[in-house]
């Protein structure tokens, strides 16, 4: 009986040699799983964070609750332009008596505009009185970025992009006077000053991570000292912003405001359901007193679509 349990010396040796191989296999496995996870995150970026995937509205989240704290990975970024000159900073503009919710970077018409991070293109549209040709990308790190006044789109809704992929050409479309890129960074529709994340003058990020802690608050973690003196370009931006006849702030134009109101109304009326194990379209429909057809319509799926656990479905 004991003989059956104890292995001959050669067998033990084999097991000893096998152990590192197993470890290696596990490592390969975890790399494969990691890749799979990354691919899934690219196909459906930051899906744990966002309640919906809306392709018609830039502001699509209404009064959604913001996370208490979120660590945003800024590594593997790419600057959206090769230009380093910020012509107008984020914040209140006295001249126009309103907030500038993005940052303007000098550009020549036709300059290539690139995705700042990996992600998926959520909106590609034209707004005459506002952003002009605009692209919105949802990133795997939870941020959304907005690229306005493009002369041309080079991407489509639903395209998966890597940081640095061309998504458009710089221009002067919409409510803009002079070619430039209007660039916004948002989290669940909440604006974050892009200069807190990017150091345009040095074509770098300000840290490896940015920890979002509610409206207007956050901390940087990583290689750069956030208390370091401001870089050149800031002064230039402040002094030249008055001269920059850029008055886009599109979401305040009536057309866009209407869109936003509609989106917010839609977001208020839309509720979400997270698919649990064993649920089907009909059980979910029954639970929320709606129909399978309405669920399919609201989520752009068919009755044959296979639901996955954790998938977010909209219903109203």
Residue 106, interface with Zn ion (CB under 5 A)?
no
Q: Which is nearer to Zn ion, 114 or 182 (CB)?
A: 182
The reply to whether 182 sits near Zn ion by the rule CB under 5 A is yes
- Please identify, among the stretches 17-25, 91-99, 175-183, 300-308, the one whose residues bind Zn ion according to the rule CB under 5 A: 175-183
Stretch that binds Zn ion, among 63-71, 104-112, 161-169, 224-232 (CB under 5 A): 104-112
Of 107 and 163, which has the nearer Cβ to Zn ion?
A: 107
End-to-end alpha carbon distance in the chain: 67
CA gap 225, 248 in Å, rounded: 33
Binding-residue total with Zn ion (CB under 5 A): 3
User: Which one, 104 or 199, has the nearer CB to Zn ion?
Assistant: 104
Pick 206 or 241: Cβ nearer Zn ion:
241
Q: Which residues contact 148 (CB under 8 A, 6 or more apart)?
A: 102, 130, 131, 132, 133, 134, 174, 176, 181, 182, 183, 184, 248, 250
Q: Which stretch binds Zn ion (CB under 5 A): 24-32, 53-61, 103-111, 232-240?
A: 103-111
Residues 112-131 close enough to bind Zn ion by CB under 5 A = none
Shortest Å, Cβ 180 to Zn ion = 7
How many other C-beta atoms lie within 10 A of the C-beta of residue 270? 16
Residue 116's closest CA among 126, 128, 132, 105?
105
- Chain centroid offset of residue 293 CA: 30
CA 180 to mean position of chain CA atoms: 21
Closest CB 146 distance from Zn ion, rounded Å: 10
Q: Which residue is nearest to Zn ion (CB)?
A: 182
One residue of 57, 74, 80, 104 binding Zn ion per CB under 5 A? 104
The one segment of 52-60, 102-110, 205-213, 264-272 that binds Zn ion by CB under 5 A:
102-110
Shortest CB 305 distance to Zn ion, Å = 39
Smallest distance, Zn ion to C-beta of residue 233, A: 16
Count the alpha carbons within 13 Å of 126 in the hemisphere toward its beta carbon. 7
Among 163, 182, 184, smallest CA distance to 171 is for: 182
What span, in angstroms and rounded, lies between the C-alpha atoms of 170 and 294? 40
- Kindly state the smallest distance separating residue 88's Cβ from Zn ion, in Å: 6
Least Cβ distance, residue 164 to Zn ion (angstroms): 22
Q: Is there a contact between 91 and 191 (Cβ–Cβ < 8 Å)?
A: no
Least distance from C-beta 151 to Zn ion, angstroms? 16
Residue with the two structure tokens 């089907």: 280
Q: CA neighbours within 13 Å on the CB side: how many for 296? A: 12
DSSP letter, residue 196: G
Nearer Cβ to Zn ion, position 153 or 182? 182
Choices 9-17, 101-109, 267-275, 285-293; region in contact with Zn ion by CB under 5 A? 101-109
Backbone φ, ψ for residue 266 (5° rounding): -60, -40
* Choices 55-63, 178-186, 205-213, 260-268 (CB under 5 A): range interacting with Zn ion: 178-186
List interacting residues with Zn ion (CB under 5 A): 102, 104, 182
């Amino acid at each position: 009986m004991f003989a059956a349990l104890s292995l001959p010396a050669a067998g033990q040796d084999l097991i000893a040699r096998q152990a590192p191989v197993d470890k290696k296999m596990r490592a390969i496995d975890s790399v494969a799983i990691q890749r799979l996870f990354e691919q899934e995150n690219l196909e459906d970026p930051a899906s744990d964070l966002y309640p919906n995937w809306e392709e018609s509205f830039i502001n699509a989240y209404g009064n959604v609750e913001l996370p208490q704290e979120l660590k945003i990975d800024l590594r593997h970024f790419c600057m959206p332009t090769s230009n380093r000159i910020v012509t107008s900073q984020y914040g209140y503009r006295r001249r126009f008596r309103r907030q500038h919710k993005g940052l303007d970077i000098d550009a020549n018409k036709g300059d290539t505009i690139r995705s700042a991070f990996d992600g998926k293109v959520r909106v590609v549209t034209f707004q005459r009185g506002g952003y002009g040709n605009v692209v919105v990308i949802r990133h795997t790190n939870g941020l959304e970025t907005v690229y306005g006044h493009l002369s041309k789109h080079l991407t489509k809704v639903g395209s998966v992009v890597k940081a640095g992929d061309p998504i458009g050409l710089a221009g002067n479309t919409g409510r803009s006077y002079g070619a430039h890129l209007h660039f916004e960074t948002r989290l669940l529709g909440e604006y974050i000053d892009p200069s807190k994340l990017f150091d345009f003058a040095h074509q770098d990020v300000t840290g490896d991570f940015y920890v979002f802690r509610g409206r207007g608050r956050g901390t940087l973690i990583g290689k750069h000292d956030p208390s370091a003196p401001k870089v050149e370009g800031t002064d230039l931006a402040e002094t030249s912003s008055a001269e920059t006849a850029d008055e886009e702030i599109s979401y305040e134009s009536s057309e866009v405001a209407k869109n936003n109101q509609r989106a917010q109304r839609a977001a208020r009326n839309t509720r979400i359901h997270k698919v649990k194990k064993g649920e089907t379209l009909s059980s979910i429909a029954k639970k929320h007193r709606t129909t399978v057809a309405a669920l399919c319509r609201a989520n752009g799926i068919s009755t044959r679509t296979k639901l996955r656990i954790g998938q977010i479905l909209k219903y109203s």
